[in-house]
Amino acid sequence: MEKVVPFRGIRYNQNAITQIGKVLAPPYDVISPAQQKALYDSDEHNVVRLILGYEYGTDTEADNRYTRSSEVLSKWLSGNILSREALPAIYLYAQDYEMEGRMLRRVGFICRRLAEPFGQSVHRHERTLSGPKLDRLKLTRACKTNFSPIFGLYADPEKKLDAIWAQIMNSKKPDINATDDDNVVHQMWVVTDQAVIAQVQSHLRNRDVVIADGHHRYETALNYRSERHEAEKPAGPAEYDYVLMFLSNSLGEGFTVLPTHRLVKGVDEKAVKSLLERLPESFDVKPVKFDPADSAPFMAALRTAGAVAPSFGVIAPGVSSVITLKKEKYLAGDTGGLSDVLRLLDVSVLQELVFERMLGITKEAVADKSVIGYTISPKEAAQSIAKGETKVAFLLNPADVSVVMDVAVKGGVMPQKSTYFYPKLISGLVFNPLT
């Protein structure tokens, strides 16, 4: 059974939708209520109506956000707003974006990927929560469609597929070309060439895949597959044995991993005072000025410290410091069953040593956003402290992609929200029918 296969995707009919950018949306889990409304208002056919419909107080088992998404999908298919590809294809996808004054391009392709249990050839790198998985399972049951691709990474130091993608992109105009609100350019090419597809399949047949983003949706795919197999007992491979996935070479160009900073909210001032007094027991503490209007110098100091040992920026009322782990102190403690590589990751040190041992915040409590909040913006962290919403913020360095791959392939699991792969994959380019 091939693990990577082409498929007849469902796409927006660009004769009916002339401004494709207005119907695209970020992944469901980063859409705020305000952005949800803005997307609803942007176009009556925006994909948000499929991936994150409104909830109402009058919702019932027979009429809810999931059943309404199913009705919208059926309506758009029958009305030729959406149409299914004539031939099986894979979908070359490039994102052009600016980061720190440089233009970058991340390239990969969208396909159907065999949904295998974790630990075979697909690996997770972060913990997951039960709530999002149930939400996505209800949507999949109702619509029998994958609307947003999971982001998967494979390692190809020779960059053989990257060369194929470059040739296609240099010789053909994209089938989709749209710019989002963050000025990220999204381009997609429909690839039906059987020789190219065969090369892709052969090249990736024995390669591991690490989930970069979309862990909940991948586990949903596994659960949905199990449900359908139990109910139908198919004699051979079925559509739902596969899941919509974007695959990109982790050793290719254009990768940006942003840190997700932690905002500690659910503790009192006494606990914060005690924490700040205890930090020197395990960390070297260096005061560094933090300017909310220009956090670059502070973050540069944090990067310098992080090149030596796990380090964090700490911001609290009247406090701004870079703290660096005294490695010998931490290694002398209980390993908790973690490998040295995993337990010395910044996010692991923060969870195990600071949150659990010093603040008494368990892994389960971290999942409660009233206790710990998250942001990719140092400025937002400082603003949250100034407003009194956050008691203390921990700013992190970005995780290295190679470390993420190594930890995941070896069976390690990093704490929740350890990585933020930027930019996010856009939703609405192509859908994967599961029937």
pLDDT beyond 90 at 330: no
φ, ψ dihedrals at 83, nearest 5°? -145, 155
∠ CA 366-367-370 to the nearest 5 degrees? 75
pLDDT band for 264, please (50, 70, 90 cuts): very high
Which whole number is the average pLDDT over 359-368? 78
**DSSP assigned state of 30:** G
- Hey, what domains does the chain have and what are their CATH numbers? 4-256+422-433 (no CATH), 260-397 (3.30.1760)
pLDDT at 278: 94
Find out whether the peptide bond into 174 is cis, omega within 30 degrees of 0. no
Distance CA 102, CA 313 (A): 25
pLDDT at 334: 52
**DSSP assigned state of 415:** P
Q: Which helix (H) or strand (E) holds 347?
A: helix 346-349
Distance CA 257, CA 242 (A): 27
Distance CA 190, CA 401 (A): 28
Q: Report the mean per-residue pLDDT for the chain.
A: 93
Q: What would the pLDDT profile of 336-357 be if each residue is shown by its tens digit?
A: 555 666 777 899 899 888 999 9
The residues, any chain, with a CB within 8 Å of residue 114's CB and separated by 6 or more, are 1, 2, 3, 4, 5, 241, 242
Which of 38-47, 65-74, 203-212, 265-274 is predicted with the least confidence, judged by mean pLDDT?
Answer: 265-274
pLDDT at 366: 75
- Helix/strand/coil percent split, the chain, to 5: 35, 25, 35
Tokens found for residue 1: 């059974």
Count Cβ atoms within 10 A of the Cβ of residue 220 and give its class: 0-12 exposed, 13-18 middle, 19 or more buried: buried
pLDDT beyond 90 at 1: no
Q: What would the pLDDT profile of 277-326 be if each residue is shown by its tens digit?
A: 999 999 999 999 999 999 999 999 999 999 999 999 999 999 999 999 98
**Three-class DSSP category at 43:** coil
Supply the Cα-derived Rg of the chain in whole angstroms. 23
pLDDT at 415: 81
